[in-house]
Amino acid sequence: MDALGIEWPLLLAQVVNFLMLIVLLRMFLYKPVLNMLNARKERIAQSMKDAERVSAAAREAEQEKAKVLEQARREAQEIRVQATRDAEKIAQDVRSRADLEATEIRMKAQVDAAKQAELALADANKQIADLAMMATEKLLGRELANKAEQQRFVADFLAESGSKGK
């Protein structure tokens, strides 16, 4: 091997140096880099799991929000329906009270009209009686003596004129 220019002690020293370099590089460079890469891989995996959990939580929150909104819509619809029913009931009560008041007013007006008619009839009867008395006094040429006689005469006259008018 001397003919090839290889010196065994130098070759052996270079092989030993190369093996020591490999061992040193493995100890101080390869293992820390591998550990750093494994840690990074685990952090990435953990971040992916966290992102997945956050995404699931966001979907769940979105579903819960949709449920709450739907519930709120239903409650709002129920409130509108109830308000409509209450308004219709109040309107019906107002109409009923108005009808009742109108009926009472009509009845009171009829009673008042009947009273007015009675008063007018009584006044007309009094005027007729007075006219009849005056006509009688002129025909008889004298005044009737007392009130009882006047009243009897008027009652007879009214009874007679009432039966003729019917």
Digitized pLDDT (tens) for each residue of the chain, 166 residues in all: 567 778 888 889 999 999 999 999 988 888 889 999 999 999 999 999 999 999 999 999 999 999 999 999 999 999 999 999 999 999 999 999 999 999 999 999 999 999 999 999 888 888 887 787 777 776 665 565 566 776 777 777 777 766 655 5
CA–centroid distance for 90 within its chain:
14
Q: What pLDDT is stored for residue 64 in this prediction?
A: 96
The structural domains of the chain, with segments of one domain joined by +, span 8-165
Please name which of 162, 64, 68 lies closest in space to residue 121, comparing C-alpha atoms: 162
Please name which of 29, 32, 30 lies closest in space to residue 40, comparing C-alpha atoms: 32
Inter-helix orientation angle 147-165/31-140, to 10°: 110
**Residues whose CB falls within 8 Å of the CB of residue 78, separated by 6 or more in sequence, listed in order:** none
Q: b/e per residue, 98-127, with b = 16+ CB within 10 A?
A: eeeeeeeeeeeeeeeeeeeeeeeeeeeeee
Q: Which two tokens stand for residue 138?
A: 């002129």
